[in-house]
Amino acid sequence: MADQLEPVLVVIPTYNERDNVEPIVARLHAALPTAHVLVVDDGSPDGTGEIADELAKADSAGRVHVMHRTEKNGLGAAYVAGFHWGLERDYAVLVEMDADGSHAPEDLPRLLDALGDADLVIGSRWVPGGKVINWPVQRQVLSRGANFYSRMALGAKVKDITAGFRAYRREALEKIRIDNVASQGYCFQIDLAWRTIEAGFTVVEVPITFTERERGQSKMSSDIIREALIRVTKWGLRRRGTQVRSLFTKRP
């Protein structure tokens, strides 16, 4: 495992987050002054992208970058584009973080500390010490259910495999070949964690407090849930198929 954990790039996907983008970048830089930010905006009609451009212009240290994409293509595609941007440069660590304040930037130093002994650190709501605040009960049930189903289907030990507050070492992202990730919605999180585990990397969860957004709207939808259900079931069946085949091909 390489030791280098600097420089850090925090990728923040945005769609209609005009009231959230400035406060989240300010909080991040208060918590971690050296971190760079890449806002990946999918042409938000509410002007989020333009606000991000202003933030980039105002940051004389050059820590704020903005990628403008023309269509709303989902969280997964935004992260893949953002990670490519970061991997083309010299960032040693790539972080995923929501724009809406659900992920506290103040927790990021703890995630980065844990990366000293891991390749992927997941900020987890569902390990001892993890919490959710103001999250409607149906979202908690959905998250718990998605995690339970993923654990059953994939056999992964991770307690919060759908969590979107994470830090990756660049070596892990390079190895898992993110260019062929097709998952668009929150399934993207399961997809990347699963690839990282399958590639033999060390995944560690640290407890975080997840606070539901105060401003703007969630983009969760039934299509996103359906996508995750279908893909996880497919991966699970493929895994079972491989296990069964290996039973029959095992030599005595």
Ligand X SMILES: Nc1nc2c(ncn2[C@@H]2O[C@H](COP(=O)(O)OP(=O)(O)O)[C@@H](O)[C@H]2O)c(=O)[nH]1
Which is closer to ligand X, CB of 220 or CB of 230? 220
| Site track for ligand X across 80-109, x = CB under 6 A | ------------------xxx-x-------
DSSP the chain: ------SEEEEEEESS-TTTHHHHHHHHHHH-TT-EEEEEE---TTSHHHHHHHHHHH-TT--EEEEE-SS---HHHHHHHHHHHHHHTT-SEEEE--SSSSS-GGGHHHHHHHGGG-SEEEEESSSTT-EEES--HHHHHHHHHHHHHHHHHH----S-TT---EEEEHHHHHHTTGGG----STHHHHHHHHHHHHTT--EEEEE-EEE--SSS-----HHHHHHHHHHHHHHHHHHHHHHHHHHHH---
Q: Does 96 bind Mg ion (CB under 5 A)?
A: no
Stretch that binds Mg ion, among 53-61, 77-85, 206-214, 229-237 (CB under 5 A): 206-214
Stretch that binds Mg ion, among 44-52, 101-109, 134-142, 222-230 (CB under 5 A): 101-109
Q: Which residue among 9, 28, 35, 78 contacts ligand X (CB under 6 A)?
A: 78
| Site track for ligand X across 230-249, x = CB under 6 A | --------------------
Residue 164 CB, shortest distance to Mg ion, in Å, is 8
Residue 137 CB, shortest distance to ligand X, in Å, is 14
